[in-house]
């Protein structure tokens, strides 16, 4: 009998995965049947909806593995993110095929339940075994070795016990899914609350303003400009000490502020290319591409150079509080100012003409303080929500760990 790392309940045994599963290996090149219908089980399809994509052969660019019902697709790609796709049934109006990034594992139905296998492959215990030996240079492109996967140890109870475990896991996970749904709803409610606060704070363009306020154009109270093309060549980034902001850096902003960037350019880049520089307090947002539709905004916490796909609003701080403009620009839907729907882009001239409600500086600062107080309360709420999310993840791992130790 195979020895395992911990003692199993009576009637259970340790086996190698390859002893109770076989790997489907027959391949087909859909390009040879360009008009035929295929159902493609791919990594993106798994991540999006766990539903295969219906495609013609002409739409598939490489050979795939032919699969049938009763298999579990285990991803070899990026072992940091385990993926196990149980395929109990397949569509009948086309050929089901899987990406070669998946290992189609067919369990021996006499000893191993398909759903038990699918849940087992997602455990930290199993993944920790197989990720010890991978190929690929970077984390996102690392691949598990099929031989290592098939050689991994798995706990095997009798079939009736496997089915009981699956049912118990499903019962507990359904409660977890409901908890996650409520948590997501709470996050959305918090975001709607923030948007509601902003909408109540800032008058709509064309509406009457409180006494002492006035409507101005954005260009009257700030410098509006675009960044520079990204330097081409590692020699412009070697030993770089000057922050260079790309569109992707918006996603890493902390409380709306960019405090660090992925890239930094050097003196050579500055001297030879003369890139556009933005000072601390400048508000940036996407100027071109689909990123415009996200309505992402961020404020620079330090001086930085910015890429040409970003627009920058540098407030004249003698008349406009940077945080005032930052909050107000969150209420502006830039998608309304897109000129070319086929490739979204914003013209600086239109951005400069945006109407801005401008109270006296003292009033701007008072309102900003009130908004920051609301923002702080929401930040504390989000931190509590994030802690709950982590607790739910730990609980999920604990459920699976206990299940395959016979403790559930």
Q: Which of 118-132, 158-172, 234-248, 321-335 has the least mean pLDDT?
A: 118-132
pLDDT (0 to 100) of residue 135: 59
Residue holding tokens 């359904």?
174
Query: In this structure, are 123 and 245 located in the same domain?
Result: no
Burial class (CB in 10 A: 0-12, 13-18, 19+), 117: buried
Residue 101 domain-assigned (yes or no): yes
**Pairwise CA distance, residues 353 & 158, whole Å:** 72
Domain C-terminal end among 109, 126, 157: 157
pLDDT the model gives residue 294:
81
* Rg, Å, the chain Cα set: 28
> What is the per-residue pLDDT for 398?
87
Q: Which pLDDT value is given to residue 387?
A: 83
Pure H helices in 202-293: 218-221, 267-273
pLDDT band with cut points at 50, 70 and 90 for residue 202: very high
Are 142 and 248 contained in the same domain?
no
| Residue where one domain finishes, among candidates 127, 157, 187 | 157
3-state secondary structure of 224: strand
What CATH number should be reported for the domain holding residue 281? Answer: 3.90.220.20
What is residue 101's DSSP assignment? T
Give me the percent of the chain exceeding a pLDDT of 90: 63
Distances in Å between the Cα of 138 and the Cα atoms of 122, 134, 295 are 22, 10, 31
Q: What is the pLDDT of residues 297-351, one digit of tens each?
A: 999 999 999 999 999 999 999 999 999 999 999 999 888 888 777 778 888 899 9
Q: Is 268 helix (H, G, I), strand (E, B) or coil?
A: helix
Alpha helices (runs of H) in 107-228, residue ranges in sequence order: 114-120, 124-130, 146-151, 159-201, 218-221
Cβ neighbours of residue 108 closer than 8 Å, sequence gap 6 or more:
20, 21, 22
**Residue 398 within a domain:** no
Beta strand extents in 213-327 (DSSP E only): 214-217, 222-226, 242-245, 257-258, 263-265, 277-278, 283-286, 298-300, 304-306, 310-315
**Complete DSSP assignment for 16-78:** EHHHHEEE---EE-GGGSTTSEEEEE-HHHHHHTS-PEEEEGGG--S-EEE--SSEEEEE-B-
Is 27 inside a domain boundary?
A: yes
Is 234 in the same domain as 145?
no
Q: 209 vs 311, 331, 401, CA distance in Å? A: 28, 17, 61
396 is a domain residue: no
Tell me, yes or no, whether 324 lies in a domain.
Answer: yes
Helix (H), strand (E) at residue 388: helix 361-403
Please check whether residues 42 and 110 belong to one and the same domain: yes
Q: What's this model's pTM, rounded to 2 decimal places? A: 0.66
Closest C-alpha to 261, from 300, 287, 230, 308: 300
* Residue 222 and residue 353 share a domain: yes
| Residues 120, 27 share a domain | yes
Same structural domain, 153 and 219: no
Q: What pLDDT sits at residue 4?
A: 75
Q: What is the mean pLDDT of residues 272-286?
A: 92
pLDDT at 134: 65
Structure confidence by residue, pLDDT tens digits, 16-66: 999 999 999 999 999 999 999 999 999 999 999 899 999 999 999 999 999
**176 has a pLDDT exceeding 70:** yes
Structural domain span for residue 290? 214-358
Q: Tell me, yes or no, whether 29 and 149 share the same domain.
A: yes
Between CA 341 and CA 227 the distance in angstroms is: 22
The whole-angstrom separation of Cα 30 and Cα 57 is 4
Residues 228 and 103 in one domain: no
Tokens of 45: 């399809």
Residue 336 belongs to some domain of the structure = yes
Residue 393 lies in a domain: no
Q: What is the average pLDDT score of the chain?
A: 90
- Whether 102 is in a domain gets the answer yes
224 and 351 part of one domain: yes
The domain total for the chain is 2
Is the domain of 145 the same as that of 239?
no
In the predicted structure, residue 140 carries a pLDDT above the cut 70: no
């Amino acid at each position: 009998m195979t020895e395992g790392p911990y003692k199993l309940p009576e009637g259970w045994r340790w086996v190698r995965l390859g002893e109770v599963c076989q790997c489907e290996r027959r391949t087909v090149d859909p390009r040879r049947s360009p008009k035929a219908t295929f159902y493609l089980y791919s990594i993106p399809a798994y991540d999006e909806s766990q539903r295969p994509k219906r495609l013609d052969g002409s739409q598939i660019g490489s050979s795939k593995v032919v699969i049938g019902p009763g298999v579990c697709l285990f991803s070899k790609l990026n072992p940091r993110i385990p993926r196990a796709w149980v395929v109990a049934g397949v569509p009948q109006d086309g050929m089901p095929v899987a990406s070669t990034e998946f290992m189609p594992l067919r369990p021996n139905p006499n000893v191993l339940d398909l759903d038990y296998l699918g849940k087992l492959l997602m455990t930290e215990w199993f993944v920790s075994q197989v990720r010890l030996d991978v190929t690929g240079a970077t984390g996102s492109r690392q691949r598990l070795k099929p031989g290592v996967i098939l050689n991994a140890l798995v706990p095997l109870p009798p079939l009736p016990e496997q089915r009981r475990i699956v049912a118990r896991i499903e019962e507990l996970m359904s409660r977890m899914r409901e908890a996650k749904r409520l948590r997501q709803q709470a996050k959305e409610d918090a975001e709607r609350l923030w948007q509601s606060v902003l909408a109540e704070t800032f008058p709509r363009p064309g509406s009457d303003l409180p006494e002492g306020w006035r409507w101005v154009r954005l260009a009257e109270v700030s410098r509006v400009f675009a960044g520079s093309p990204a330097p081409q060549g590692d020699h412009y980034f070697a030993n770089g000490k000057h922050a260079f902001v790309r569109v992707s850096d918006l996603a890493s902003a902390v409380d709306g502020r960019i405090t660090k960037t992925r890239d930094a350019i050097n003196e050579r880049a500055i001297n030879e290319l003369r890139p556009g520089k933005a000072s601390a307090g400048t508000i940036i947002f996407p100027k071109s591409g689909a990123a415009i539709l996200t309505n992402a905004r961020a404020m620079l916490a330090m001086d930085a150079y910015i890429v040409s796909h970003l627009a920058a609003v540098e407030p004249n701080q003698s008349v406009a509080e940077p945080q005032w403009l930052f909050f107000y620009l969150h209420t502006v839907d830039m998608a309304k100012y897109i000129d070319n729907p086929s490739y979204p882009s914003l013209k600086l001239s239109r951005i400069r003409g945006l109407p801005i409600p401008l109270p006296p500086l003292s009033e701007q600062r008072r309102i900003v303080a009130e908004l920051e107080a609301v923002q702080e309360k929401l930040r504390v709420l989000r931190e509590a929500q994030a802690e709950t999310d982590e607790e739910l993840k730990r609980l999920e791992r604990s459920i699976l760990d206990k299940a395959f130790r016979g403790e559930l």
